[in-house]
């Protein structure tokens, strides 16, 4: 039997507030899930969504993965640009699983735009919905597309570092 794991992260939700909801019977399914799960509180520097989630997803700190906030600067023009998935300097967990032939499903990876194709991975995202109001679904793709995307990621990373 294959082992399965799930990581559920609720950005900005404190355990105090979640515990109140659970204790008042508002979230019975979450209570049942937490009774069988490991839970922890994330302490991060800087306490901002993009670097925190990217650290969780890559296993390295912002100094290594290169995401420090919602924005970065284009090295050639010094214009502020939105941080994208191309700026992440290390593979994220679903990308590592893909490299090892494991299947995964990920909802709203951070950074979520653009969705980078990964073999054996279904990615669903609607965080960057300014272009498309409905969620984007990307199913597993061919290996050549992965290589092309990783090359583009390296080029983008070099341009901003």
pLDDT in tens, the chain (161 residues): 678 888 888 888 888 999 999 999 999 998 998 888 888 877 777 888 899 999 999 999 999 999 999 999 888 899 999 888 889 999 999 999 999 999 999 888 888 888 888 888 888 887 655 555 555 555 555 455 566 666 777 776 676 66
Adjacent-strand bridge partners of 70: none
How far is the C-alpha of 126 from the C-alpha of 136, rounded, in Å? 6
**Residue given tokens 């290390």 in the structure block:** 90
What are the two backbone dihedrals, phi and then psi, of residue 127, each rounded to the nearest 5 degrees?
-65, -45
- The DSSP annotation for 23-74 comes to HTTS-HHHHHHHHTS-------SS--HHHHHHHHHHSS-HHHH---SSEEE-
| Domain ranges (residues) in the chain | 69-160
């Amino acid at each position: 039997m294959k082992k399965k794991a799930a990581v559920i992260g609720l950005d900005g939700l404190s355990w105090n507030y979640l515990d109140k909801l659970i204790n008042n019977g508002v979230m019975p399914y979450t209570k049942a899930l937490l009774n069988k799960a490991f839970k922890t509180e994330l302490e991060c520097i800087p306490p901002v969504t993009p670097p925190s989630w990217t650290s969780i997803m890559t296993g390295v700190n912002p100094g290594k993965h290169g995401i420090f906030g919602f924005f970065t600067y284009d090295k050639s023009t010094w214009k502020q640009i939105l941080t994208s998935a191309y700026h992440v300097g290390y593979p994220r967990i679903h990308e590592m699983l893909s490299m090892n032939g494991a299947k995964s499903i990920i909802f709203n990876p951070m950074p979520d735009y653009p969705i980078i194709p990964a073999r054996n991975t279904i990615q669903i995202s609607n965080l960057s919905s300014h272009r498309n109001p409905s969620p984007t679904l990307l199913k597993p793709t061919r290996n050549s597309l992965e290589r092309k995307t990783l090359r583009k990621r390296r080029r983008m990373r070099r341009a901003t570092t």
